[in-house]
Amino acid sequence: MLVGTGPLTRTMAANAPQSIAAFSEGACVQIRALSGDRQLCLRLESMGLAVGKEVQVLKNSGRGLLLKTEFTRLAIRLSPAFMLQAVYAGHA
């Protein structure tokens, strides 16, 4: 087993929002916070990445993400211009 991938680590991670880049491919997460440039945040919200939405991480290359929300797939490049934080879906 890889270090940092056990059930305890996953449980701890589920309790606190973290960058969406920290989640592995296949993870279903719930968006908890979206911060950064106001126009960029509004644009992401209009494409379905809103607080409270559940998304699936389809691909995580380390520099970019392919996300699925409802019937939409979004490819986003990670940038210091915004922060997208999430928790594993189903956790309060």
pLDDT in tens, 9-67: 555 454 789 999 999 999 999 999 999 989 989 999 999 999 999 999 999 998 899 99
Letter for the amino acid at 61? S
- Domain ranges across the chain: 7-88
Residue recorded with tokens 């490819």? 75
pTM: 0.78
* Domain with residues 7-88, CATH architecture: Roll (2.30)
58 exposure class (CB count in 10 Å sphere: 0-12, 13-18, 19+): middle
Centroid of chain to Cα 39 = 19
pLDDT in tens, 71-88: 999 999 988 888 999 999
Paired strand residues for 82: 36
Burial 46-55 (b: 16+ CB within 10 A, else e): eebbeeebeb
Closest C-alpha among 37, 38, 40, 14 to residue 27: 14
